[in-house]
Amino acid sequence: MSQLANALGTKFIESKEQLRIRTFDFNGVTFKIKVPLTVESDLMYEKNKVIDEAKAKQFYEEMAKEFIENKDKYESDKEIIFKEDDIIVKSISLKDTARNKVLTQNRITSLFQLIVPEDTTFDMSTITYADIDENFPFNIQLELIEKIAEVIAPSYTQTKGK
């Protein structure tokens, strides 16, 4: 234990993990969130930056399939540009879009992993984006990660109550 923890006493040491738990209600369901330590947040941030290139390639191929299969039809469209290794649609790269999808899924997954499960034997670090997607529509996922982010890093307005 650190000097500070020892100075705060045994009650603090026993309750330290509980002090990091915050809650929020979402459509009648109470979610408990474990606020990460700075080192945990830093690791989460670094992990979220890693792009699974195989997954990004899979997403790209799914998005590009329609364009590739119907290239003759789309070649006359000035807003669709076929490059050697990418397709640009309305100035947006499909490869970049696929990579951003991976990053978004990483972020959603890492924030969902901060939820404290009711079943204390369940390890939230084992959940995948597929698990989340199976249970929550994308728009709900976005709402939930916004709520989780507010709980772990409240804005100035929330803190001051203004």
CA 104/CA 141 separation, integer angstroms: 11
**DSSP line for 137-156:** -HHHHHHHHHHHHHHHS--H
Q: What digits encode the pLDDT tens for the residues 58-90?
A: 999 999 999 999 999 988 888 999 999 999 999
CA 100/CA 59 separation, integer angstroms: 10
CA 8/CA 39 separation, integer angstroms: 21
Q: What digits encode the pLDDT tens for the residues 33-58?
A: 999 988 999 999 999 999 999 999 99
* Beta-ladder partners of 87: 82
DSSP state of 31: E
Specify the pTM. Answer: 0.83
Residue 60's CB: how many other CB atoms inside 10 A? 21
CA 48/CA 107 separation, integer angstroms: 6
